[in-house]
Structure 1
Amino acid sequence: MSDVPSPRDQNKTPEPNRVLMAKREERGWSRKRAAKELHRLGESRGLPELGSIEKAMYRHESGMVVCRDPLYIELYCTIYEATAQELFGDITPTTTAPGQLSGVRSHKFIPAYIGAQRVSHLVCNASGAQSEFNFGLECQGIKVDNPHGECALHMWPFGVAMFHLTEELELPNLAHLAIWRRQTYARDREWASDYLSSSLSIPVEASYVLSAYWVHTPSWAQYELDTALRIMCIPRILHERDSEMTDASLAHAELVERSLLSDGFEHGEMTSFGFKGVSLGYASWSGVVYYPAAPRRALAESEIVNVELATQAMWAYCESIRAQVEQGFDPRVPDEYGWRFLRAVRSRLINARAQETEYHKCMRKAVLDTSGILDHLAEAIEILKETGEG
């Protein structure tokens, strides 16, 4: 995070960034007050001490240095509720190598069906659990320690526990993302299984990992951005099925990446939910990726997270019902979470709310369609009807 002027900046007469100054003054903030806001938001992500931030803000506002640091740009956009284009004009980051993957936040959802009684046990033993409501589904959420990022455990009374792990990504390219994803899926499932097994004193296995990527500061050239997001939506396309994670497989994945970025990438099961001039967004069976080009008009990060939490919670619950059937048993579920409950949830998931935005509606439909949850719900409802559950 260097604010040392580049040779190009040193040879220019400083031109104040009047937009940055105006945005700060509109809020009635001194530079010290604005620096405190940046420090509050960026401290956990490596932003320096308050005094250094205030000095950096002075250099950015006065034009002594052109702000090219992706983290500063992101935080300025957040506190001033503006886009990078509005605040800085045409920015070409100099801190990121061509093709490097940065400015991306990974959200991993790791569910496990543990049963209603065990969820109740977890909640009773949780410190600081908070009630959450999403699509009419109430759950309890707590923060948990994870060595790789910020993590929360969400617990639904119908028997599903789900970890939501958030990680900032800094990787050389998309090929590394594909391999990182494959390797960390195994790592994170094992960690989640161990956490639940230890907490419940019984063997528990997490079901799967699903990813959503929030691209807040894209590092690709404009002509590559759409294709890069498509690849992020299905990163497995870059490496061969069941290939070993060797230097050779990485080199092959990088060749595929360069080819796709040059020629484009399409996939029949990928659904777009972006809006021209506002956002780029894609959903697939593998996950979701979203770039808010106009942050004040686009979806909020929490909106995508909330849809995935509800979708994956119901997916894990329905999967537990199907697993009982496939083992030769009539499924047993708590009385209040039978087929009528599932029917109500399905209605809330598929039907638009009166004040829902078109952006949210399209995103929700894309996630539901590509996840297969609606078919899963329909099957579970019929099974429970047949067995008189609910």
Structure 2
Amino acid sequence: MIAVELWTGEEALLLRSVRRQSVREFAQDLGISPRTVSHWRENTSRVCRPAMAQILDAALAQCTPKEQEAFRVRLAALRGEPVASVAAVAKPSPCVVVSHKFLPVYLGEQIGSLYAGGVPRPSGPGGMDQRVLPGGHRSAQVSKVHVYACGIAVVHLEEHQRVESLTELAVWRYRSYLKERTWAGNRMTRLLEQHSADGRAVEPSPDPEYVLSAYELREHSWAAPGLDTALQLLTTPSVLVNRQDPANVIPLGAGVEDAKFRDGWVHPEAVEFGGGTSRGVAGWSGVAYHPQPDERALTMSQIVALELDAQALWALSSHILHMIEDGQDPVMPAEYGWRFLRGAYSRLTTARPTETAQHRVMREAILATSELPDRLRAAQDALRDSNP
């Protein structure tokens, strides 16, 4: 995904040309007046205001890969740069990433004692009541247990990794998943025992069903094309490793990552987001983001806040759908029935007046690739049918 550091009328008109849209169509898609596009034609050197730059960043991020490539080539020509210099040779390289792991588990009514003992925390994008307990992980830089009143606990682990290649990171990722799921289940059980009101025995917590990762790419040496490939590979680590034996994940081969960089690997279902010089990719396996210092840039904390609520709601909807698959009528406490899910769905999918264009694109990308909205609707319908 090409980035534009300074939008002027010239770059804006270039974007319209690669999208092959009329003035009216382009203005309608951007939500602006056709007169604004006409002003760009009259004064191509006019610098766009920050709000307009955000709109153009979002429009460029939503272009197809073919349109983005055309924009990149034409922009290079516009600036008198040889195209080859823009498309520098990319290859595996050492980097530093901050790994965020999310491990959600359904605890149901047992959550009450943990919720009572947690430290209150402001609601996230989903608007759900939550509190926080210490995670107690030995090696993670940050480890917390986010306790949601609706019956879900989400373990959040932040770990800093310096690796020689993305294959090395992918191997670490999958090998750590098994032990982290077991650790999280044991940690939940210990917390339930510690917070039991009268010291009674508690039901052991199940292990989380899955782990989702979000990566913040920090130190690296890639130019734009290599950076885009790196972010794609961070969200699709399965293309770099052999997972036939989940307990012993190994690299596919020394030349696999080189080939991915050489060919500019892009997953067909991944969705890009970002803006300015910041870049992000959302996929089924997680999210990768490379922020740049900019007053318009998203922060990783905003992505983490959304993922915490998204993973909590995914686990809750999965519990409801599992009950149906097991032949049971789904039953939830009245305050967390279908109306609760409807409210969470609305809050997650509805844009807010204060939301920036970058934040909206990020939110939509994560929700689309997670398929959470569809699961929430299915769980909502199931609860409505059994608890009208």
TM-score exceeds 0.5:
yes
Tell me the equivalent position of 2:277.
Answer: 278
3-state secondary structure, aligned to 2:274: coil
Listed one character per residue, the Cα deviations across residues 250-301 of structure 1 (whole Å, up to 9, x for unaligned) are 3x343210111111112111001122x3311100110000011344321011
RMSD: 1.8
> 1:268 is matched by which residue type in structure 2?
P
Q: Name the CA shift for 1:101/1:243 in 2 (closer, same or farther; >3 Å).
A: farther
Tell me the equivalent position of 2:57.
Answer: none
User: Residues 105 and 166 of structure 1 are in contact (CA less than 8 Å); yes or no, is this contact kept in structure 2?
Assistant: yes
Tell me the equivalent position of 2:204.
Answer: 203
- Counterparts in 2 of 1:162-181, with a 5 A limit? 162-181=154-173
- Counterparts in 2 of 1:50-199, with a 5 A limit? 99-115=92-108, 117-126=109-118, 129-135=119-125, 136-149=127-140, 150-199=142-191
| Contiguous gaps of at least 5 residues in structure 1 | 1-97
* CA apart distance, 1:335: 0.5
User: Residues 178 and 238 of structure 1 are in contact (CA less than 8 Å); yes or no, is this contact kept in structure 2?
Assistant: yes
User: Residues 179 and 245 of structure 1 are in contact (CA less than 8 Å); yes or no, is this contact kept in structure 2?
Assistant: no
Q: Provide the rounded CA distance (Å) in 1 between the counterparts of 2:377 and 2:248.
A: 42
Q: Provide the rounded CA distance (Å) in 1 between the counterparts of 2:324 and 2:261.
A: 45
* CA apart distance, 1:130: 2.4
Tell me the equivalent position of 1:23.
Answer: none
Tell me the equivalent position of 1:35.
Answer: none
Q: Provide the rounded CA distance (Å) in 2 between the counterparts of 1:350 and 1:294.
A: 27
Q: Provide the rounded CA distance (Å) in 1 between the counterparts of 2:170 and 2:92.
A: 14
Q: Name the CA shift for 1:125/1:294 in 2 (closer, same or farther; >3 Å).
A: closer
User: Residues 101 and 169 of structure 1 are in contact (CA less than 8 Å); yes or no, is this contact kept in structure 2?
Assistant: no
* CA apart distance, 1:173: 0.7
User: Residues 175 and 254 of structure 1 are in contact (CA less than 8 Å); yes or no, is this contact kept in structure 2?
Assistant: no
3-state secondary structure, aligned to 2:132: strand
3-state secondary structure, aligned to 2:102: strand
Q: Provide the rounded CA distance (Å) in 1 between the counterparts of 2:310 and 2:94.
A: 28
* CA apart distance, 1:125: 4.1
Residues matched between the structures, number: 286
Q: Provide the rounded CA distance (Å) in 2 between the counterparts of 1:316 and 1:274.
A: 27
User: Residues 105 and 214 of structure 1 are in contact (CA less than 8 Å); yes or no, is this contact kept in structure 2?
Assistant: yes
Q: Provide the rounded CA distance (Å) in 1 between the counterparts of 2:385 and 2:172.
A: 44
> 2:349 is matched by which residue type in structure 1?
I
Tell me the equivalent position of 1:377.
Answer: 376
Percent identical among aligned pairs is 37
Q: Provide the rounded CA distance (Å) in 1 between the counterparts of 2:248 and 2:254.
A: 12
What is the TM-score with the length of structure 1 in the denominator? 0.70
Q: Provide the rounded CA distance (Å) in 1 between the counterparts of 2:166 and 2:238.
A: 10
* CA apart distance, 1:331: 1.1
* CA apart distance, 1:172: 1.8
Tell me the equivalent position of 1:292.
Answer: 291
Tell me the equivalent position of 1:229.
Answer: 231
Q: Provide the rounded CA distance (Å) in 2 between the counterparts of 1:160 and 1:242.
A: 31
Q: Name the CA shift for 1:138/1:254 in 2 (closer, same or farther; >3 Å).
A: farther
3-state secondary structure, aligned to 1:110: strand
Q: Name the CA shift for 1:324/1:348 in 2 (closer, same or farther; >3 Å).
A: same
* CA apart distance, 1:155: 0.5
3-state secondary structure, aligned to 1:137: coil
- Counterparts in 2 of 1:306-385, with a 5 A limit? 306-385=305-384
3-state secondary structure, aligned to 2:123: strand
| Contiguous gaps of at least 5 residues in structure 2 | 1-90, 193-201
Q: Provide the rounded CA distance (Å) in 1 between the counterparts of 2:104 and 2:248.
A: 29
What is the TM-score with the length of structure 2 in the denominator? 0.70
* CA apart distance, 1:243: 4.9
Q: Provide the rounded CA distance (Å) in 1 between the counterparts of 2:295 and 2:185.
A: 38
Q: Name the CA shift for 1:361/1:227 in 2 (closer, same or farther; >3 Å).
A: same
User: Residues 132 and 141 of structure 1 are in contact (CA less than 8 Å); yes or no, is this contact kept in structure 2?
Assistant: no
> 1:270 is matched by which residue type in structure 2?
A
User: Residues 112 and 149 of structure 2 are in contact (CA less than 8 Å); yes or no, is this contact kept in structure 1?
Assistant: yes
Q: Name the CA shift for 1:245/1:110 in 2 (closer, same or farther; >3 Å).
A: closer
User: Residues 92 and 258 of structure 2 are in contact (CA less than 8 Å); yes or no, is this contact kept in structure 1?
Assistant: no
3-state secondary structure, aligned to 1:254: coil
Q: Name the CA shift for 1:125/1:355 in 2 (closer, same or farther; >3 Å).
A: closer
User: Residues 338 and 384 of structure 1 are in contact (CA less than 8 Å); yes or no, is this contact kept in structure 2?
Assistant: yes
Listed one character per residue, the Cα deviations across residues 17-59 of structure 1 (whole Å, up to 9, x for unaligned) are xxxxxxxxxxxxxxxxxxxxxxxxxxxxxxxxxxxxxxxxxxx
User: Residues 101 and 214 of structure 2 are in contact (CA less than 8 Å); yes or no, is this contact kept in structure 1?
Assistant: yes
* CA apart distance, 1:380: 0.5
* CA apart distance, 1:221: 4.3
Q: Name the CA shift for 1:244/1:146 in 2 (closer, same or farther; >3 Å).
A: closer
> 2:103 is matched by which residue type in structure 1?
I
3-state secondary structure, aligned to 1:191: helix
Tell me the equivalent position of 2:9.
Answer: none
Q: Name the CA shift for 1:244/1:118 in 2 (closer, same or farther; >3 Å).
A: closer
